[in-house]
Amino acid sequence: MFRQLGKFHTMISKVPFVDPSRVYNKLKEKLDSAYFEVMSRGDLIDRGQLKSFESNLATFVGTKYAVGLNSGYDALHLSLRALNIRQGDEVIVPAHTFVATCSAVVNVGATPVLVDVARDFNIDVDKIEEVISEKTKAIIPVHLSGWMADMPGILKIAEKYNLKVVEDACQSLGSAINGIGAGAWGNTGCFSFFPFKILGGYGDGGAITTNDESIAIFARRMRYNGEDRETGEYFGHGFTCLLDNLQAAFLNIKLDYLPESIKRRKYIASCYKEVLSDFPDLLLPHYNRVGFDHVYQNYTLRSKQGSEFSDYLKNNGVEVLTQFRKPYYKHEALNLMDRGFPETEALSREVCSLPMSVELTDEEIKYVIDTVRSFYKKH
Ligand SMILES: Cc1ncc(COP(=O)(O)O)c(C=O)c1O
């Protein structure tokens, strides 16, 4: 594959990490027509586009229901509320994740209990039982970067201790284990449509997927200040966190292209793998677990040279992401218990996400590869 890319001359000044305007230009006709349809009818809140997107999303994930929300955070937050997680309860979360996973637990009044991750960046299943107490009520496995946590292993533990499972699938729409989609394993699945996600909107958005009708009804009411929209009855003090109809219209169009864009991501990942596998100081995100499917929302590798490596890429025009340099539990204001998480700490020094968007040109892929190789030739 890489050999096919070999013909380019590298005249590139910058490879962006993502460039939402490129997708817009590709889908412009459809997105513009969706915009004009919604605007000309004034269909802004809780209309057909939202219902249609929810139905398509549920089908795509493989659940009975999907409920569109304002953000991935809201999906986590309402999931925990739907499962009656509250003050006095403990919820297991990975030490390495985006902070929102943990904040959702804190904001329902429960206590997050952090567990270190394994080499694949996801929660280390062998370390979960050590922290289970009488107060433990739920686990939130996070499927980072397009690669799922070990759901068969996690469900076994959940069953043994009677725990609820909320999947944080915000980074992994389209991923699966043995053909069962991310977001279809737990009591709920939580998705984010933040613009840079694998299915990105034009503003933030999120959704809960579930097979449990009572959870879907709860989330539909709570996203609308607790109101049942048909009867006008309030079923509790709720929130304002409905997915906008306009965003739903855009997401519906982009969802159609998701299988095609996942193929492109896998192609880019295979190009990176083919020519970057021979550097012992680089740990690439290819894990080869039977039945597991990586959709590469992010191509997050580990470099022993840490910031020296990522700075070199940045200084040579490759925009990379290094947002996890300081683990969230080390931020004092979050007031979390740091029990020592060696894998999380080691990876925090080393992580670097290479550009991995479907709109990358072959020339840009080659430029990224050449820049990484030129760094390692100097080492
Ligand atoms: C793993 C993870 N959890 C939760 C979230 C929260 O999603 P949002 O930004 O839509 O609230 C994100 C996205 O940023 C995420 O990557």
In the predicted model, is pLDDT for residue 198 greater than 90? yes
Take atom 12 of ligand 1 and give the residue whose Cα is closest: 170
Take atom 8 of ligand 1 and give the residue whose Cα is closest: 72
CA 41/CA 266 separation, integer angstroms = 39
> For position 353, which CATH number holds?
3.90.1150.10
Ligand 1 neighbourhood includes 297 CB (under 6 angstroms) = no
Pairing state between β 176-177 and 292-293: antiparallel
Ligand 1 neighbourhood includes 188 CB (under 6 angstroms) = no
> For position 85, which CATH number holds?
3.40.640.10
Mean pLDDT of 338-364: 96
Strands (DSSP E) along the chain, which ranges? 65-69, 90-94, 111-115, 136-139, 164-168, 176-177, 180-181, 188-192, 206-210, 282-283, 292-293, 299-303, 351-354
Q: What is the pLDDT of residue 1?
A: 58
Q: What is the pLDDT of residue 370?
A: 96
**Number of domains, the chain:** 2
Mean pLDDT of 223-227: 98
For residue 139, give both structure tokens.
């686990």
Verify that 13 and 105 share a domain, yes or no. Answer: no
Q: Are 175 and 199 in contact (CB under 8 A)?
A: no
Verify that 14 and 143 share a domain, yes or no. Answer: no
Verify that 80 and 161 share a domain, yes or no. Answer: yes
What digits encode the pLDDT tens for the residues 142-186?
999 999 999 999 999 999 999 999 999 999 999 999 999 999 999
Mean pLDDT of 254-275: 97
Angle between helices 306-315 and 362-377 (to 10 degrees): 130
What is the separation of C-alpha 99 from the centre of its chain, rounded to a whole number of angstroms?
12
Ligand 1 neighbourhood includes 116 CB (under 6 angstroms) = no
Verify that 51 and 145 share a domain, yes or no. Answer: yes
pLDDT band at 6 (very low <50, low <70, confident <90, very high): low
CA 281/CA 279 separation, integer angstroms = 5
Among 219, 252, 285, residue at a domain's last position: 252
In the predicted model, is pLDDT for residue 256 greater than 70? yes
Among 212, 231, 252, residue at a domain's last position: 252
Ligand 1 neighbourhood includes 194 CB (under 6 angstroms) = yes
CA 252/CA 14 separation, integer angstroms = 31
Q: Which amino acid is at 189?
A: G
Take atom 7 of ligand 1 and give the residue whose Cα is closest: 72
Among 252, 287, 319, residue at a domain's last position: 252
Q: Which amino acid is at 242?
A: L
Mean pLDDT of 303-323: 96
> For residue 364, what are the domain limits?
2-20+258-377
Verify that 321 and 237 share a domain, yes or no. Answer: no
For residue 35, give both structure tokens.
């915009």
Average pLDDT, the chain: 96
